[in-house]
Amino acid sequence: MSRSYMNDRWCVRCGRNTPNPYILKNEKILESVCNFKNHVIADIGCGNGRNTKYLIEKGFNVYPVDMVDDYGLRCHIGKDNLPFENNSVNAFLLNYVLMFLSESERKQLYGEIDRCSNNSACISIVELYPAKDSYTPNKESLNTLQEEICNVLRCMRFNIIRNSKDGKLVALKNIFNEGE
Ligand SMILES: C[S@@+](CC[C@H](N)C(=O)[O-])C[C@H]1O[C@@H](n2cnc3c(N)ncnc32)[C@H](O)[C@@H]1O
């Protein structure tokens, strides 16, 4: 785990270069949503780009963003809008980032996801963990955040198709009608 203080915030990175196992686990679902070359995947809080790099190698069209621009496009959630057109994003990767956002930053991000998510096909893959130095340092706060995310995604007409107790979830909009 590495931490650097940037833009008045902690940027916390694990330093791993292999993609997250949860991305691998959900690769087939991701593929079924993002099955055209022009389908857009937004890697929000991309860190060192381990997931973006893996998916680009697999032929996906991925746009990484982070408050630190050493790998992705610079975008400070809470201050900057996501660099995507309305209704243009087919997948949001939100791996280990939402715990580092304050309530107002999360609110801004939710609005941006709603604005940018494609109305005919969109998937969100979310991973959380109880990180020290984050807004969810323990299991209880993590559960509360997970519930908040599920509720917000449901309001945006996503179906929660996977929702595990360890802070991982997958939500689909307009793909399958059976959910939860
Ligand atoms: C633990 S890392 C996760 C990186 C990557 N998603 C992964 O799974 O390896 C959290 C990332 O969120 C970024 N981040 C934290 N707060 C942010 C904000 N307000 N806006 C944009 N990025 C932010 C940090 O810079 C860091 O790269």
Q: DSSP of 28-73, one letter per residue? A: HHHHHHS-STT--EEEET-TT-HHHHHHHHTT--EEEEESSTTTSE
Q: Residue 3: inside a domain, yes or no? A: no
Q: Residue 114: inside a domain, yes or no? A: yes
Average pLDDT over residues 176-180: 46
C-alpha 10 to ligand 1 mean position (Å): 9
Q: Residue 6: inside a domain, yes or no? A: no
Reported as a single tens digit per residue, the pLDDT across 99-141 is 999 999 999 999 999 999 999 899 999 999 998 889 999 999 9
Residues 22/54, Cβ–Cβ less than 8 Å:
no
C-alpha 177 to ligand 1 mean position (Å): 31
Average pLDDT over residues 59-78: 95
Q: CATH no. for residue 125? A: 3.40.50.150
pLDDT score recorded for residue 180: 42
pLDDT score recorded for residue 148: 98
Q: Which of 2, 67, 70, 82 to mutate to test the pocket of ligand 1 (most atoms within 8 A of CB)?
A: 67
Q: Which pTM does this prediction carry?
A: 0.94
Query: Has residue 81 got a pLDDT over 80?
Result: yes
Task: Give the total number of structural domains in the chain.
Answer: 1
pLDDT score recorded for residue 179: 43
Whole domain around residue 83: which residue ranges?
19-173
